[in-house]
Structure 1
Amino acid sequence: NIQGLLEATHQKLSYVFTSARALDHLDPNIFTRQSMLIFSDNLYIKPAKRIDTEIIFESSIKQYNLKLPEQTITELLKLVDGHTQYLLFALISLRESNPNINADEIFSFLKNDERISLQSEELWESLTSQEQEILLKVKTKKKLTDEEIKQADYLIKTGFFDPKTLKIFSPIFDYFVKTKEDERKKEKSSSDFSKKENLLLTFLESNKNQICEREQIIESVWPEAESLGVTDWAIDRLVARVRNKLKDHDKNYEIVTVKTRGYKLVSRD
């Protein structure tokens, strides 16, 4: 249909689709790479430049009626590093908690903020397992292989890290990646579930053979972020990780998806 409309308008019609991924990545069976190349171009949006971030900042502090010390502003803009959602969440939290915070205190404040942590988690969960592994390697400043550079194409084009300096964007997200690195080390030594994975599994076990709706899962796993909203994507990725780990543990049950409702823990056949 899209192709037909283009032909009917003599190629004078353009569409703009916004998505976290290229269409052929989201559903390669419908949007094949070959067909997409005929009539589309992928444009990747990186974090905003400093001058653009300053414009957003100036309009936002007026909206929130917020005044910050000059040194704090400089440090804040460096920490969010062009990520608009980080910036807006930071301003909301500062207005609610500590608008007079000093520049040397703001990083500690933001890295422990619930909204910021949830945003970091959603960024992380939007990545494939290969991309996550690459970011963990970048964090340790290990040189990437040619194959890993190819696999990191999305990460590079969207500005997650600089392939030349191996620097991850935003000190806030860089810190979050480090926490994931620490989690991996603990998991490798103990083979345990992560904190949130364990919360989910415990909740499902206590409600075995019952449908656990998404809202209930959010309440149990993300109580600190319930009012902020948790995306379906974040829930699905968490469930997928627990599913995979259950295969490696001596558990006689599995997680099944109940369409439009949620999930259920049932005994294996």
Structure 2
Amino acid sequence: MTSVSDKSVVKKSGGLGETISVVVQALLLALVIRTVLFQPFNIPSGSMRPTLLEGDYLFVSKFSYGFSKYSIPFAPNLFSGRIWASEPQRGDIAVFRKPNDTSLDFIKRVVGLPGDRVQMRGGVLYLNDVAVPRVKVGQINNPDVTEVNRPVDVYRETLPNGVTYDTLDLTPNGIGDDTREFVVPAGHYFMMGDNRDNSADSRFDVGYVPFENFIGRANIIFFSIAGKASPLELWRWPSELRFDRLLHSVNGTSFTPKSQ
């Protein structure tokens, strides 16, 4: 009788060619995720305090508003306008390309929709001649949040669609507290920072933002570190990592001010 023994055959690795193939596939997958789904951004300035702080790292959903040429790395001029478009909602925190310098990514809150009349009067936001409800909810005395070494008044605004968020009032009667009336053109949006006295936004040189310039909607903070530290400086994590901000949703929420 002839016995037949099973033999397991192990295929050897294809060497350099297989490694290159795996790397290329991984890069293509990362490109698709970054272009179509989510893109990581870090916050480089204090214009969105207290909602977003310098050192926050967040995911931006690219599919929220559809896709324009700015959704693709290096913004190749493949098409104009947007495909699979979904319009931004009032109160959204959105990343966009600055209209007069599209090499720069900005992040602000959508306050004015196409056709809206927007104005600041005495620090109060007016939309179509109606004051947006604004209630003082306390003070923050924390330089990591306010960037100044003194207590800062915090006001909670509620937009007509119910979105609520906190704003800082660093300088009462500041330069941006009283403006002319802005009429938002068709296909454009009026963007403002929550740090009302320290934000370059549509009140100033940013102007109206075309829908095409939108990159995506801010979604969730996945990492946050203070003290202008780099995430790679692991030895600073114990003292600088902001554990209370990790996995925070940033749209449609407000952070309760705490006096210290």
Q: For this structure pair, what is the TM-score category when the shorter chain's length is used for normalisation?
A: under 0.3
| RCO comparison, higher one (Cα < 8 Å, 6+) | 2
TM-score (norm 2): 0.22
In proportion to residue count, which structure has more strand? 2
TM-score (norm 1): 0.21
In proportion to residue count, which structure has more helix? 1
